[in-house]
Amino acid sequence: MLIDTYGRVATDLRVSLTDRCNLRCTYCMPEEGLQWLAKPDLLTDDEIVRLIDIAVTTLGIEEVRFTGGEPLLRPGLVGIVERVAALTPRPQMSLTTNGIGLKRTAAALKAAGLDRVNVSLDTLRPDVFKTLTRRDRHKDVIEGLDAARAAGLTPVKVNSVLMPGLNEDEAPDLLAWAVEHAYELRFIEQMPLDAQHGWKRDGMITAGDILTSLRTRFELTPEGSEERGSAPAERWIVDGGPHRVGVIASVTRPFCSACDRTRLTADGQVRTCLFAREETDLRAALRSGAPDEEIARIWRLAMWGKKAGAGLDDPSFVQPDRPMSAIGG
């Protein structure tokens, strides 16, 4: 079991498979990209599967989410999914992706055992997409979403970040489109995880702003805390149902008290929080020949020291020194 001093138990593991990405989203990294991790620093496929095995069979992890960077850039992704699906007990498996490579991989991922996907799409307008991501790939994302739904990677969830002066007016249009295509839309407040450290709380599009905009066109009924559980998204029933829309308000409505996540970076570091500045090295233990029991002990100790909250409301908050692409969202 992965428990901290506040009684929270981690059952959800986020695994970053690579720090690389084929987009350059303005809220994540600079246009020229970043200095990527050297290949020897990355966990191998075998190391990733071994750590997930320890997490699932020894530490009580029930759900595994593959992230990046862009996880579809990981050459061994399908094989990793297949091997994790063979574990006993079998964890639920999902993947967060920008969707660009889904058209060609969705069917193989489903056959390997992946349960569902989260796809990032911030706008319905190709020109705005190009401005936000610095790449002309909007059509590829739409086709990737179609392929994921056709392959049965459902529910297909769409994650959207609204940015001032770019797509802040699109919330109602995005929800109407998601309802039409049977996708579950989730808006995410922009978080202080950009490599440029240009994030400013003043002027960001808040959960309150998003809900006010949505209510100009839709009737929203709160789903309730019992349905939410430890999920990061607050959800609302749209026009009486069955469709729902979620808002992940990490900045203005933090949900730290219910957090059930632990994170593994692409280079084998445990992070107890997306906003943490401290990491615990599991790669060194792996490569020094440590047995599973020792690795589990190190992981438990790391989680025991998890802080009460992210501290975003603290004036002394210091942004993490790794961007979202290196941590895995």
Q: Are 163 and 131 in contact (CB under 8 A)?
A: no
DSSP for residue 132:
H
316 is in an annotated binding site: no
Strand order in the sheet with 184-188: 220-222, 234-238, 244-248, 184-188, 157-160, 116-120, 92-97, 63-67, 12-16, 261-264, 269-271, 280-281
272: Cα within 13 Å, side-chain hemisphere:
24
Q: Are 262 and 10 in contact (CB under 8 A)?
A: yes
What is the b/e burial string over 117-130, where b = at least 16 CB atoms within 10 angstroms of the residue's CB? bbbbbbbbeeebbe
3-state secondary structure of 24: coil
Instruction: Give the C-alpha separation, 251 to 244, whole Å.
Output: 22
Q: Tokens at residue 279, please?
A: 């990491």
14 is in an annotated binding site: yes
165 is in an annotated binding site: no
68 is in an annotated binding site: no
End-to-end, the C-alpha distance of the chain in Å comes to: 23
113 is in an annotated binding site: no
183 is in an annotated binding site: no
263 is in an annotated binding site: yes
120 is in an annotated binding site: yes
27 is in an annotated binding site: yes
3-state secondary structure of 120: strand
* 53 contact partners, CB below 8 Å, separation of at least 6: 87, 292
149 is in an annotated binding site: no
307 is in an annotated binding site: no
Instruction: Give the C-alpha separation, 286 to 283, whole Å.
Output: 5
Taking alpha carbons only, the member of 260, 244, 241, 163 closest to residue 204 is 163
256 is in an annotated binding site: yes
191 is in an annotated binding site: yes
- Region class of 170: left (phi > 0), else alpha (psi between -120 and 50), else beta: alpha
261 is in an annotated binding site: yes
- Quickly count: other Cβ atoms within 10 Å of residue 67's Cβ: 25
203 is in an annotated binding site: no
Could you tell me which residues are annotated as the binding site for [4Fe-4S] cluster? 21, 25, 28, 256, 259, 273
Could you tell me which residues are annotated as the binding site for S-adenosyl-L-methionine? 27, 69, 120, 191
Could you tell me which residues are annotated as the binding site? 14, 21, 25, 27-28, 65, 69, 96, 120, 157, 191, 256, 259, 261-263, 273
Could you tell me which residues are annotated as the binding site for GTP? 14, 65, 96, 157, 261-263
